[in-house]
Amino acid sequence: SQQGEEDPQALSIQEGENATMNCSYKTSINNLQWYRQNSGRGLVHLILIRSNEREKHSGRLRVTLDTSKKSSSLLITASRAADTASYFCATKIIQGAQKLVFGQGTRLTINP
Amino acid sequence: GAVVSQHPSRVICKSGTSVKIECRSLDFQATTMFWYRQFPKQSLMLMATSNEGSKATYEQGVEKDKFLINHASLTLSTLTVTSAHPEDSSFYICSAPRSSYEQYFGPGTRLTVT
């Protein structure tokens, strides 16, 4: 079953703009991860944020985590056409061993 | 480089036949692997947890007799779709955790049942 929801489901912006995607989840988590998937391809791990962290940066990526609201956001700054992909959050729940449960995903389109 | 491989990357089979998909961890041992299914424009749905040396754990709604999982060794898990039907056509992805915080995904197998 899906852990939560992401919004927006689809986002289209101009190259150079910032893109923000949100993820909500339902149960207590150990960590939350963001992945990118190009059409028909495998997953690329972007960033992991632990439940005791509130914000994390990696290059043009900024992830926040609010465990009280059970939500996370992914910000991509200065977007590029190559950022066009689907983005998924995935949570590792505390009592779920190592399995990850994925959100619905956001389809991001960067227009040149 | 890739640390989890899947084979085949694409397979087309006729309705009623069985298809086996392999998932290998290339440079680490994985006592647990996971199998996901992804329909077009949808998210990944966890199907089952593959456990080396014991039975797989299936998620609710996944038919264990249809999706046979065998974790033959510490680096290999196989998913066999038995008596495949067109509705089984999907993208199947496996993953293997290398540590508590590192989980690697295979490149996926696209199954088309005609």
Tell me what the mean pLDDT of segment A54-63 comes to. Answer: 97
pLDDT tens per residue across span B20-61: 999 999 999 999 999 999 998 899 999 999 999 889 999 999
Which residues of chain A make contact with B97, given a CB cutoff of 8 A?
98
Does A41 score more than 90 pLDDT? no
Q: Chain B interface, mutation test: which of A38, A88, A99, most B Cβ atoms within 10 Å? A: A99
More confident call, A19 vs A42: A19
Contact B71, B79 (CB under 8 A): no
CA distance B39 to B110: 10
Question: Quick check: B103 contacting A, CB < 8 Å?
Answer: yes
Contact A28, A96 (CB under 8 A): no
pLDDT tens per residue across span A74-102: 999 999 999 999 999 999 876 656 788 89
pLDDT at residue A4, as a whole number: 65
What average pLDDT does chain B have? 93
